[in-house]
Chains A and B, each alone.
Chain A
Amino acid sequence: GAGVSQSPSNKVTEKGKDVELRCDPISGHTALYWYRQSLGQGLEFLIYFQGNSAPDKSGLPSDRFSAERTGGSVSTLTIQRTQQEDSAVYLCASSRTSGRTPYEQYFGPGTRLTVT
């Protein structure tokens, strides 16, 4: 079966532009997570969706970041007015959790964002 997919795989954008990153989770997975990872660093949690709702937005670094999920499936992470410090790999993961305690997460290949 298909795994988690993300698009684009690479994105280079100019400072100040908006970008939209997409995640397609594994079919039937109710939970979806967004992380970002800078080179050589650990994962930084951004946001978590259970179905279409986001009970935990605590990790979003600023109000330039937003995310939505529709139909309990595809999610988009939008970064407005990008800054150079936004450059990172943005990883999406899904799991078949139905509560607070997740089962294992399956990760997509990530979107490498470079802000010039």
Chain B
Amino acid sequence: RKEVEQDPGPFNVPEGATVAFNCTYSNSASQSFFWYRQDCRKEPKLLMSVYSSGNEDGRFTAQLNRASQYISLLIRDSKLSDSATYLCVVIDYQLIWGAGTKLIIKP
């Protein structure tokens, strides 16, 4: 089993819809979690940190489920500009990146 797993997608979603995807991790001692966004042929950029209590930033909500060892990202009222690959990062004693979930928002 991979240490960090993401559904590669692509998720094809109509504009305005709500979409959510998860990132599972194997090490229960993992301490920090982040979501990054990567546009095609561009470098990753931080989208949001994931706190134990969950956090929300506009249309984006990130949550942590320690019992089931996954983090989630929910995007409401999706925009065409949300099309990208979403990468999760899990940190225990090292940084481990997921391979990313590709999201395509269609008009």
Q: How large is the interface on B (under 10, 10 to 19, 20 to 34, 35 or more residues)?
A: 10 to 19
- Are B97 and A45 touching (Cβ within 8 A)? yes
Partner of A42, one of B32, B43, B93, B98: B98
Minimum CB–CB distance from A37 to chain B (whole Å) comes to 9
Please provide the chain A residues from 38 to 96 with a CB less than 8 Å away from any CB of chain B in the complex. Answer: 41-43, 45, 48, 56, 58, 91
Chain B 1-41 per-residue mask, 1 if CB under 8 angstroms from chain A, else 0: 00000000000000000000000000000011010000000
Which residues from chain A contact B32 at a C-beta distance below 8 Å?
101-102
Interface pair B43/A41, CB less than 8 Å apart: no
Tell me the dominant secondary structure on chain A's binding face: loop
Choose, from B44-52, B53-61, B64-72, B76-84, the stretch at the interface.
B44-52
In the complex with contacts A42-B100, A43-B87, A105-B94 CB distance below 8 A = no
What residues of chain B lie closer than 8 Å to A25, measured between beta carbons?
none
**Measured between alpha carbons, how far is A58 from B44 in the docked complex, in Å?**
22
Among B31, B44, B45, B99, which residue has its beta carbon within 8 angstroms of that of A101?
B31
Residues of B within 8 A of A105 (CB): 44, 46
Chain B contacts to A: CB under 8 angstroms:
31-32, 34, 42-46, 49, 87, 91, 93-100
